[in-house]
């Protein structure tokens, strides 16, 4: 079908994009709002670099799980991979030297594969499965570390500043983001993951090996989290904590849902998640800069999560744990 | 079974196919069908007659126990998976679950065949779009290849599915002059009534270069569009008609499908007298767009109204609307003088005195509960220790259940037996038993005796007639005319979602016997 | 001919009942063998303290799981109720107890509203509510440790009757009432019905929407009650109250035999689960196994028991 009004194409595309990505409007709205409220604090290079730093944290955590959310499942193991990976690096450092960092992607890969296999074979709801695994990893982390955060300084060079006001971690995250988008949008695996999320039975009937691709989705999620954690490890101070912080778990979840990947699956994905992460980072920073009590900020973030969840749950059917 | 052999060898012939599940259930028994170039072959039968099993064997989902497959007169092995079947030129369009709503049209068309469009592990999106556009243009399917499947109307979705089936045959075929054979499994089931004719016109247009196997239990459609029709019953081929040469009525087909002639219809005179003057329920101009239109009737106390019509006529949606499972768009529904809101939840219907009894296993039954609990769930008020304190008396519950079990002759070791372990007939009896105990003012019956043996049927009819005698009104929807003859005082004939005629039992008997 | 006491078929059918009992006995005997202090009077009191508040909260969660849903916010509500007591006891006196209970029940209502009215999956809805509640708790407590000096309040949980602290009797009382509700009342029957067959429940005249809200309110109420009594037992606390609780709590419900798919199990079974979990916890403490390793153990128990109890026949597609 040819479009009769050719010159209207650009505004039409724009309207279409805004329709499918309403979060862009919210993002612009928040930036304008905060800039108007306190320009001297919000519109500073330092502030933008802080926002970008948080954007990187959120994105690298949320990128992998957003692939799993497309299938309609959930993966909460990301913080666990980062924590346990950090401690394994510290343990391996004296033995394997600078190669130790590679243990994190490996851990991510194995974890993701394991979750996928258990979920598909034992049929446990992924929410419970990955939550239990997260706690287990936390326990292992704390046990291995002896209860103290262990820092490894050798990898600080990864995030050493190159361009003023532009976090190097942000530069690193670009290829990872592009890779995730490529996998989901331009490969067979990505298409199959969307198909499974949209209609699992139909995908099966179309001859797709559903179990295999569900396992693949979890494996990809673990791998992206693992690769991301290589950047996050120095980015977040070169030491993994031994205490589980609920906010670390919730933040990326908000980014995914806020970006517009519905929990029911079938649409959305990494390209939406980065939008959600950016919006979340802007809102969080804007609230912190406000004169609100810092503790009140967490309250508002919780409300944001609830709102995005309610919106993200539209049309959700057939979840076994209702 | 012999038939006139056409001059040329048939395009496809399945000869003497048998299939047994778990070594006991005989799903198919020596079935033979042929498909010729450029024709539509109907395969009809009740649920469980073996239609789906046969089709799944043709596309390689199941392997047959016995039988032979011939392609243009040459014997070939049965396909082992859908891809291999496509290589032989056979592909299937599933009833409902086939569409992937969140894929774009071109992605959906090539789903499962992406390996042909990968370069440097990246999908060649432009090539995919071109291929998809070409097939849609060729088949004159009017839609944008970049829209998402869920954005298309259901009939267009069906056409895209057919295009996908043809495309997959083209992509996988072994020799280039393969004529595609497309199996359509109940293609009109998800469609609105208005969309069905359009779909058939498109299919007829495609007959020029394809053949179709049309699986259905909607008799009028098969009679209108198929060239030849095979009737399956209990896994056996029981009838064959060449519709291009013979004059076959809907009644002929019906008789073959259910295995009973109209002369066997029971009719117990004198039932009409039980009907009272008091109006229990009124539907006026009840409409749910795409499903049924302007349905109006009065249901009197002690009356049973049957909504009779072919599958897909909208009768099931009407009864589900009255049960509160689906809403309605226009008109009004009045129960005992009170107007019912369109989006009212099912539990409020019970408060109004409407019970719903479906033969579909597990729909209203709690399968992992014992019989006693299943009977008491709608009668909780009667098994409380005292009227005031909401505490259940287990002995009262047991006594109630034992009474029902005895009355309905339910075969079970005790009332504490889980319903999962009961036979189909006994499960149905438990369902009807709880309503007997509750005795609602209005009981809705949807396929009340589907899939159960004769003895259990008679028992259930007996209970229903007894309830009717004591003043319960009923609405019946079923595929079995015999049931209407036994239970109903008034029969409303529905076709295409609209009321056609209102018949008395005597008239109904004449019509169905003609 | 002598027949075996229990046939194999009987064992298989009743595995979900026999399993937890055998496990509980094995755990008690095992830890007693390693450390004779385990079953001494002092050891028992430690155990009773560890078990009681836990049992109250677990009863509430059991109702939710029985209904086929999940309540992530139990621990947060417990924490908030406990902190409300310690923070406002001086200002409000004993009025703070009904206040804490009303607030936690109200938050349970909000959980139910999201799940029943807006069709949000329960784990996500309750996770969201629990983040907000954690925020509120942090806001109120400012992250400090607060001590309660009101001895009357503390005696709610710490009065010794027949050698055991009063919180034990509270817990057993709540457990008995919960069990009674689940088995002997229409409310309990409806909860099983909603968990067993959602559509069937509606067709059987159950107001599914309202019932789900009620059950979440019950869970919130019991979480609040557990929080109040726990604060009376502890005599003070900070944001760290219940920090290690979520996974053991969940594990104790499934370990008792209440499957995540809903419709089976019940509070009567949760008692066994709580015994198993808290006694493992106590036993490990006695063996000087840190809470870190405990987390590993409980994470794995939660997983294993979910796998063992879930009804795979009922779910075609798992997400």
Contact present, A111 and A133 (Cβ < 8 Å)? yes
Nearest CA in chain C to A296: C139
Which of B55, B44, B61 shows the shortest CA–CA distance to B14? B55
Give the model's pLDDT for residue B265: 42
Give the model's pLDDT for residue C168: 93
Residue range A218-234: mean pLDDT, rounded:
95
- Tally A–B CB contacts below 8 A: 60
Tokens of A23: 């979060």
Which of C60, C64, C283 shows the shortest CA–CA distance to C178? C60
**Residues in C touching B366 (Cβ below 8 Å):** 192-193, 196-197, 200, 263
Give the model's pLDDT for residue B513: 61
Is C16 in the B-facing interface, judged by CB distances under 8 Å?
no
Top residue of A12, A72, A207 to mutate, by most chain B CBs within 10 Å, is: A207
C64-96 pLDDT, tens per residue? Answer: 999 989 998 999 999 999 999 999 988 888 999
Neighbours of chain A (3+ CB pairs under 8 A): B, C
Distance CA A308, CA A302 (A): 10
Give the model's pLDDT for residue B25: 64
The answer to whether the Cβ–Cβ distance between A263 and C139 falls below 8 Å is no
Give the model's pLDDT for residue B275: 65
Among the partner-chain residues A125, A140, A263, the one whose CB lies closest to the CB of C318 is A125
Residue range C186-198: mean pLDDT, rounded:
91
Which of C283, C209, C311 shows the shortest CA–CA distance to C46? C283
- In the predicted model, what is the mean pLDDT of chain C? 86
B325-382 pLDDT, tens per residue? Answer: 888 999 999 998 889 988 888 888 888 899 998 887 667 888 888 899 999 998 888 8
**Residues in B touching C203 (Cβ below 8 Å):** 323, 325, 346-347, 350, 356, 363-364
CATH of C36-310, one of 1.10.3470, 1.10.10, 3.10.100, 1.20.58: 1.10.3470
Give the model's pLDDT for residue A78: 94
Contact present, A200 and A192 (Cβ < 8 Å)? no
Give the model's pLDDT for residue B262: 39
Using CB atoms and an 8 Å cut-off, which of residues 205-234 of chain A contact chain B? 205-208
The answer to whether the Cβ–Cβ distance between A136 and C300 falls below 8 Å is yes
Q: Rounded to the nearest 5°, which phi and psi values hold at A112?
A: -60, -45
Confidence of residue C5 (pLDDT cuts 50, 70, 90): low
Confidence of residue C12 (pLDDT cuts 50, 70, 90): low
Give the model's pLDDT for residue A2: 41
B279-321 pLDDT, tens per residue? Answer: 889 999 999 988 899 999 999 888 899 998 877 788 888 999 9
C44 Cα to chain A: minimum distance (Å): 27
Residue range A16-42: mean pLDDT, rounded:
84
Give the model's pLDDT for residue A258: 85
Q: Bridge-partner residues for B308, per DSSP?
A: B493
Give the model's pLDDT for residue C40: 77
More confident residue, A300 or B105: B105
Q: Bridge-partner residues for B181, per DSSP?
A: B90, B211
Give the model's pLDDT for residue C16: 66
The answer to whether the Cβ–Cβ distance between C118 and A310 falls below 8 Å is yes
Give the model's pLDDT for residue B224: 85
The one-character DSSP state at C145 is -
Distance CA B102, CA B111 (A): 12
**Residue B451 CA from chain centroid, whole number:** 13
Q: Which residues contact B512 (CB under 8 A, 6 or more apart)?
A: B251, B262, B265, B481
Q: What does the domain layout of chain A look like in residue ranges?
A: 40-315
Question: Helices in B295-392 by DSSP H: which ranges?
Answer: 315-323, 346-351, 371-376
Confidence of residue B257 (pLDDT cuts 50, 70, 90): confident
Residue range A119-125: mean pLDDT, rounded:
86
Q: What does the domain layout of chain C look like in residue ranges?
A: 36-310
- In the predicted model, what is the mean pLDDT of chain B? 84
Confidence of residue A32 (pLDDT cuts 50, 70, 90): very high
C105 Cα to chain A: minimum distance (Å): 18
B318 Cα to chain C: minimum distance (Å): 16
The CATH class for the domain spanning A40-315 reads mainly alpha
B141-200 pLDDT, tens per residue? Answer: 888 888 889 888 888 888 899 899 888 888 887 777 778 899 998 888 777 777 788 888
Tokens of A281: 């980072």
A138-179 pLDDT, tens per residue? Answer: 889 988 888 788 888 888 888 888 888 888 999 999 999 999
The answer to whether the Cβ–Cβ distance between C204 and B323 falls below 8 Å is no
Residue B20 reports pLDDT greater than 90: no
B307 Cα to chain C: minimum distance (Å): 21
Give the model's pLDDT for residue A3: 43
The answer to whether the Cβ–Cβ distance between C114 and A310 falls below 8 Å is yes
Residue A215 reports pLDDT greater than 90: yes
Strands B118-119 and B122-123: antiparallel
Residue C39 reports pLDDT greater than 90: no
Q: Bridge-partner residues for B184, per DSSP?
A: B93, B214
Contact present, B392 and C191 (Cβ < 8 Å)? no
Strands B338-340 and B330-335: antiparallel
Is A202 in the B-facing interface, judged by CB distances under 8 Å?
yes
Alpha carbons within 13 angstroms on the beta-carbon side of residue B21 total 10
The one-character DSSP state at A52 is H
Distance CA B472, CA B276 (A): 10
C206-244 pLDDT, tens per residue? Answer: 999 999 999 999 999 999 999 999 999 998 888 888 888
Residue range A190-195: mean pLDDT, rounded:
93
Q: Which residues of B touch A (CB under 8 A)?
A: 81-83, 94, 97-103, 107, 111-112, 114-115, 118, 121-123, 125, 144
Give the model's pLDDT for residue B334: 92
More confident residue, A229 or B118: A229
Least confident of B121-125, B303-307, B420-424, C35-39: C35-39
The answer to whether the Cβ–Cβ distance between A246 and C120 falls below 8 Å is no
B66-85 pLDDT, tens per residue? Answer: 899 998 888 889 988 888 88
Give the model's pLDDT for residue B190: 72
Using CB atoms and an 8 Å cut-off, which of residues 208-267 of chain A contact chain C? 242, 246-247, 250, 253, 263, 265
Distance CA B289, CA B31 (A): 40
Confidence of residue C7 (pLDDT cuts 50, 70, 90): low
The answer to whether the Cβ–Cβ distance between B100 and A182 falls below 8 Å is no
pTM for the full model? Answer: 0.84
Residue C293 reports pLDDT greater than 90: no
Alpha carbons within 13 angstroms on the beta-carbon side of residue A157 total 4
Q: Tokens 């296999």 correspond to what residue?
A: A117
Confidence of residue A183 (pLDDT cuts 50, 70, 90): very high
Confidence of residue B105 (pLDDT cuts 50, 70, 90): very high
Give the model's pLDDT for residue C315: 63
B76 Cα to chain C: minimum distance (Å): 35
Residue C308 reports pLDDT greater than 90: no
Confidence of residue C11 (pLDDT cuts 50, 70, 90): low
């Amino acid at each position: 079908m040819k479009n009769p009004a050719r010159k209207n194409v650009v505004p039409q595309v724009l309207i279409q994009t805004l329709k499918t990505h309403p979060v862009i409007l919210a993002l612009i709205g928040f930036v304008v709002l905060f800039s108007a409220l306190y320009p001297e604090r919000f519109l500073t290079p330092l502030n933008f670099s802080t926002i970008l730093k948080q954007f990187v944290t959120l994105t690298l955590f949320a990128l992998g799980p957003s692939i799993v959310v497309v299938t309609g499942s959930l993966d909460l193991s990301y913080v666990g991979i980062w924590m346990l990976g950090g401690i394994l690096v510290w343990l391996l450092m004296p033995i394997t030297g600078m190669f130790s960092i590679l243990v994190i992607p490996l851990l991510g890969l194995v974890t993701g594969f394991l979750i996928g296999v258990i979920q598909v074979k034992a049929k446990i709801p992924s929410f419970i499965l990955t939550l239990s695994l997260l706690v287990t990893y936390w326990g292992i982390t704390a046990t291995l570390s002896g209860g103290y955060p262990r820092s490894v300084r050798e990898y600080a060079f990864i995030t050493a500043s190159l361009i003023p006001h532009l976090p190097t971690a942000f530069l690193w995250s670009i290829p990872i983001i592009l890779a995730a988008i490529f996998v989901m949008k331009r490969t067979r695996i990505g298409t199959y993951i969307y198909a499974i999320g949209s209609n699992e039975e139909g995908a099966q009937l179309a001859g797709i090996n559903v179990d295999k691709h569900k396992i693949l989705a979890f494996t990809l999620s673990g791998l992206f989290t693992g690769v991301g954690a290589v950047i996050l490890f120095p980015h977040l101070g070169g030491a993994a904590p031994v205490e589980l912080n609920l906010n670390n778990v919730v933040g990326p979840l908000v980014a995914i849902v806020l970006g517009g990947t519905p929990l029911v699956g079938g649409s959305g994905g990494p390209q939406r998640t980065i939008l959600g992460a950016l919006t979340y980072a802007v809102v969080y920073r804007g609230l912190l800069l406000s004169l609100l009590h810092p503790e009140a900020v967490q309250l508002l973030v919780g409300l944001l999560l609830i709102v995005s969840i309610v919106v993200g749950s539209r049309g959700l059917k057939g979840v076994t744990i209702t | 079974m012999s038939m006139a052999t056409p001059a040329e060898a048939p395009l496809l012939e399945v000869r003497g196919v048998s299939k047994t599940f778990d070594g006991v259930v005989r799903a198919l028994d020596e079935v033979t069908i042929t498909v010729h170039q450029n024709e539509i072959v109907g395969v009809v039968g009740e649920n469980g007659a073996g239609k789906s099993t046969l089709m799944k064997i043709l596309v390689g989902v199941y392997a047959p126990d016995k039988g032979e497959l011939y392609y243009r007169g040459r014997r070939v092995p049965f396909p082992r998976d859908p891809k291999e079947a496509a290589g032989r030129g056979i592909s299937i369009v599933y009833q409902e679950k086939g569409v992937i709503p969140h894929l774009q049209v071109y992605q959906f068309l090539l789903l499962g065949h992406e390996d042909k469009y990968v370069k440097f592990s990246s999908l060649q999106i432009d090539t995919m779009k071109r291929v998809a556009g070409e097939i849609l243009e060729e088949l004159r399917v009017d839609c944008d290849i970049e829209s998402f499947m869920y954005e298309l109307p259901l009939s267009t979705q069906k056409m895209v599915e057919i295009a996908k089936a043809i495309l997959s045959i083209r992509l996988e075929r072994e020799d280039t002059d393969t004529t595609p054979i497309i199996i359509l499994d109940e293609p009109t089931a998800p469609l609105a009534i208005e969309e069905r004719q359009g779909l058939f016109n498109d299919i007829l247009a495609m007959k020029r270069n394809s053949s179709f196997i049309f699986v259905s239990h909607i008799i009028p459609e098969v009679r209108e569009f198929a060239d030849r029709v095979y009737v399956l019953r209990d896994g056996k081929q029981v009838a064959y008609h060449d519709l291009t040469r013979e004059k076959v009525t809907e009644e002929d087909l019906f008789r073959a499908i259910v295995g009973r002639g109209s002369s066997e219809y029971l009719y117990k005179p004198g039932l009409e007298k039980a009907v009272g003057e008091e109006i229990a329920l009124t539907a006026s101009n009840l409409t749910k767009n795409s499903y049924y239109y302007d349905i109006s009737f009065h249901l009197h106390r002690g009356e049973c109204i049957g909504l009779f019509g072919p599958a897909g006529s909208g009768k099931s949606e009407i009864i589900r609307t009255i049960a509160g499972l689906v809403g309605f768009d226009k008109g009004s529904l009045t129960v005992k003088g009170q107007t019912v809101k369109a989006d009212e939840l099912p539990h409020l219907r019970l408060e109004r005195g409407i019970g719903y009894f479906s033969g579909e296993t597990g729909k209203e039954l709690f399968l992992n509960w014992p019989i006693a609990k299943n009977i008491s769930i709608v009668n909780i008020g009667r098994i409380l220790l005292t009227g005031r304190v909401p505490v259940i008396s287990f002995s009262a519950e047991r006594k109630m259940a034992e009474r029902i079990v005895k009355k309905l002759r339910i075969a079970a070791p005790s009332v504490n037996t889980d319903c999962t372990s009961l036979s189909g007939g006994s499960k149905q009896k438990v369902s009807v038993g709880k309503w007997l105990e509750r005795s609602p003012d209005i009981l809705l019956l949807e396929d009340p005796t589907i899939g159960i043996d004769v003895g259990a049927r008679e028992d259930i009819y007996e209970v229903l007639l007894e309830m009717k005698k004591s003043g319960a009104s009923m609405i019946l929807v079923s595929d079995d005319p015999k049931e209407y003859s036994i239970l109903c005082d008034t029969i409303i004939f529905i076709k295409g979602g609209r009321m056609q005629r209102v018949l008395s039992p005597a008239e109904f008997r004449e019509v169905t016997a003609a | 001919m002598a027949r075996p006491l229990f046939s194999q078929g009987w064992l298989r059918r009743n595995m979900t009942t026999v399993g937890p009992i055998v496990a509980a006995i094995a755990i008690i005997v095992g830890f007693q063998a390693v450390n004779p202090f385990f079953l001494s009077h002092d050891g028992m009191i430690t155990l009773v303290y560890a078990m009681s508040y836990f049992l109250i909260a677990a009863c509430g969660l059991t109702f939710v799981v029985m209904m086929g849903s999940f309540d992530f916010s139990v621990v947060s509500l417990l924490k908030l109720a406990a902190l409300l007591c310690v923070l406002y006891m001086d200002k409000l006196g004993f009025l703070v107890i009904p206040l804490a209970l009303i607030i936690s029940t109200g938050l349970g209502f909000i959980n139910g509203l999201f799940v029943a009215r807006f069709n949000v999956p329960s784990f996500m809805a309750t996770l969201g509510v629990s983040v907000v509640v954690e925020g509120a708790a942090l806001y109120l407590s400012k992250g400090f440790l607060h001590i309660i000096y009101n001895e009357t309040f503390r005696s709610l949980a710490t009065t010794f009757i027949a050698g055991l602290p009063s919180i034990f009797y509270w817990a057993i009382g709540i457990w008995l009432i919960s069990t009674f509700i689940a088995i002997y009342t229409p409310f309990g029957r409806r909860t099983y019905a909603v968990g067993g067959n959602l559509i069937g429940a509606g067709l059987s005249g159950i107001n599914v929407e309202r019932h789900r809200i009620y059950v979440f309110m019950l869970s919130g109420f019991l979480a609040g009650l557990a929080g109040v009594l726990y604060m009376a037992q502890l005599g003070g606390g900070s944001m760290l109250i219940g920090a290690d609780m979520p996974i053991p709590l969940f594990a104790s419900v499934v370990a008792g035999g209440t499957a995540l798919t809903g419709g089976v199990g019940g509070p009567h079974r949760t008692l066994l689960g709580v015994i198993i979990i808290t006694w493992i916890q106590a036993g490990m403490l006695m063996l000087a196994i840190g809470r870190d390793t405990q987390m590993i153990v409980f994470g794995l128990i939660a997983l294993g028991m979910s796998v063992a109890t879930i009804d795979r026949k009922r779910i075609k597609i798992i997400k």
